[in-house]
Amino acid sequence: MAKEISRRSFLKGGLAAACTLAATSMPEWASAANNKQQLVTLLDIRKCIGCEACVEACSEANTDKYPNPKKPFPKMYPDRVPVMDWSDKRDVTDRLTPYNWVYIQSATVEVDGEETEITIPRRCMHCINPPCVKLCPWGAARQLSNGTSRIDSDICMGGSKCKAVCPWHIPERQTGVGLYLDILPSLAGNGVMYKCDRCYNQIADGELPACIEVCPEDVQTIGPRDEIIKQAHALAKEINGYIYGEKENGGTNTIYVSPVPFEKLNKAIEKGKGKPHFKPVKDTMADANNLAAAMVFAPVAGVAAAVGKFYKMTKTDE
Amino acid sequence: MNQIHKDTRSNKRSIVRYTYLMIVLFLALTGFGQMPIFKRYYIADIPGLGWVARFYVTHYMHYLFAILLIVLTSHVIAEYLFINRKRIKITISGYIRGALVIGLVITGVLLVIRNLASSGFPPGFIVFLDLAHLGLVMVLLMAGLYCIILKKKWAKERFKMSKGV
């Protein structure tokens, strides 16, 4: 006897099928993000040829997010407040700027006895516990559940604290744009901070970040943390190479694998403003977070002292 | 004998009062130091105050003084409940300031949790916490100033002891 299909069971079955189809058609890395796992990018820097395709793709994908400052800028007090204006230098690609969120760093080093030029895409590391996010006084910087940290340009005041506390000093400021103009432009704030947001809107749509999508050499791989860490270690073992980003600042969601030690690379690259280093980085949030454990015992200590005093008083009364 | 007890209580009140004021002063200083204003406005240029513009230093110190505030607050509340409830009465200004301190402790503890690696508060809630913490401290400082000027006390004796008793 044929089973009768009710309207409800038809709709239920159809919905389930649609969900399954949607889940299976979504790329593996994107479904990992939907499962609240942190996404990590692995950069095999042996593959990078320094073509800057990632730099161009980043710029194209994020043009709408770039600042359009109003000029002249409001006079700021006191005079020591620096005006940071990159709006007339939008084409600069040899460092990080508010209009350039990834750039190619180069280093001439010896690999297997041969002098070789290594090129490395540099951008935000997307730390597991990002100080730029955690120490932002307004909550303008935020971390998404997939591990992407991004700055909300609608509420950022441009105080540049995120840059100061970032171990790599990644965010860059543009004056003359943002919320501060509507509050006290002369006395508080100084624009908006900008940095790589890992094309969070594209990831939400199941698409790859622009720099990964466009790379002709497949330098970058993106995926769930566990998998990418395994891949990074396997690759490092295979090439007898070195890893950067796994442990730095307590762990980041950007892992570089290099055939030469990062200490050597760090010496060879040009460092400075908008040009991050490759130095070892201790967990910047660890000291305060360790102290947080003591906070749990603080009320116990306070109450215990009062109870002790109460007990002593009752004893004396007796 | 009673005079000795009263003097001891008065000395203890002074110690608690000055400890509380010192903790609040450092918490306010290190708390405002979380905003990038001390360097901009030359406060960090004052000799001996260079550290107020170092975010990790002020962040750590804010945690340290927050721990002291929680110890002191919980001690004063427990002492009131166990020992002083029958003797003293909390004034209206005391209740208001107490509520503000507890509000600061609650929002502060939530911000400490937010700073842990595994935390996942929604962005809107984090903005609310930041603004609420700042708003509460501004109101507490203004209320404190008002109470100092008008000599309003946190608590008063429920009854006056008669001479010789």
DSSP for B126-148 reads HHHHHHHHHHHHHHHHHHHHHHH
Interface contact B74, partner A, CB < 8 A: yes
The lowest-confidence range among A75-84, A237-246, A251-260, B132-141 is A75-84
Instruction: Give SS3 for B110.
Output: helix
Q: Which of B75, B114, B116 sits opposite A306 (nearest CB)?
A: B75
Q: Any alpha helices (H) in chain A, and if so which ranges?
A: 7-25, 28-34, 53-62, 131-134, 161-165, 200-204, 210-214, 225-239, 262-268, 286-317
Tell whether the model's pLDDT for residue A270 goes beyond 50.
yes
Q: What is the pLDDT of residues B86-133, one digit of tens each?
A: 888 999 999 999 999 999 999 999 999 999 988 889 999 999 999 999
Exposure of A168 in the CB half-sphere (CA atoms within 13 A): 26
pLDDT confidence tier of residue A8, bands split at 50, 70 and 90: low
Q: CA B69, B72, B75: angle at the middle one, nearest 5?
A: 145
**Minimal CA separation from A260 to chain B, in Å:** 31
A55: alpha, beta or left? (left if phi > 0; alpha if psi -120 to 50):
alpha
Tell whether the model's pLDDT for residue A235 goes beyond 90.
yes
The pLDDT, as a whole number, for residue A310 is 82
State phi, psi for B23 to the nearest 5 degrees: -65, -45
**Minimal CA separation from A221 to chain B, in Å:** 24
Tell whether the model's pLDDT for residue A31 goes beyond 70.
no
A-chain CB neighbours of B40 within 8 Å are 78, 80-81
**Minimal CA separation from A49 to chain B, in Å:** 35
Tell whether the model's pLDDT for residue B154 goes beyond 60.
yes
- Summarize the confidence of residues A25-32 as an average pLDDT: 60
Q: Indicate the length of chain A as a whole number.
A: 318
- Summarize the confidence of residues A230-249 as an average pLDDT: 96
DSSP secondary structure letter of residue B27: H
By 3-state DSSP, what share of chain A in percent is helix, strand and coil, each rounded to 5?
Answer: 35, 15, 45
Residue partners of A230: CB distance under 8 A and separation at least 6: none
DSSP secondary structure letter of residue A26: S
Interface contact B72, partner A, CB < 8 A: yes
DSSP secondary structure letter of residue A27: -
- CA dist A119 and B136 (Å) reads 50
Residue A306 contacts residue B75 (beta carbons within 8 Å): yes
Residue partners of A164: CB distance under 8 A and separation at least 6: B36, B55
Domain ranges (residues) in chain B: 1-61, 86-165
Q: What is the pLDDT of residues A166-196, one digit of tens each?
A: 999 999 999 999 999 999 999 999 999 999 9
pLDDT confidence tier of residue A79, bands split at 50, 70 and 90: confident
The pLDDT, as a whole number, for residue B6 is 62
Burial group, residue A291, by CB count within 10 angstroms (0-12, 13-18, 19+): middle
Residue partners of A197: CB distance under 8 A and separation at least 6: A62, A65, A101, A124, A148, A149, A150, A151
Tell whether the model's pLDDT for residue B161 goes beyond 60.
no
Tell whether the model's pLDDT for residue B63 goes beyond 60.
yes
Q: What percent of chain A has pLDDT over 70?
A: 88
Residue A279 contacts residue B51 (beta carbons within 8 Å): no
Tell whether the model's pLDDT for residue A2 goes beyond 50.
no
The string of DSSP letters for A100-138 reads BS-EEEEEEEEETTEEEEEEEEE----BSS-HHHHT-TT
Q: What is the pLDDT of residues A81-135, one digit of tens each?
A: 989 999 999 999 999 999 999 999 999 998 878 899 999 999 999 999 999 999 9
Q: Which of A160, A188, A302 sits opposite B70 (nearest CB)?
A: A302
The pLDDT, as a whole number, for residue B2 is 60
Q: What is the pLDDT of residues A13-24, one digit of tens each?
A: 555 554 444 444
ipTM of predicted complex: 0.86
Q: Domains of chain A by range and CATH?
A: 26-301 (3.30.70.20)
**Prior bond of A130 cis (ω within 30°):** no
Closest CA relative to residue A208, chosen from A5, A94, A78, A41: A41
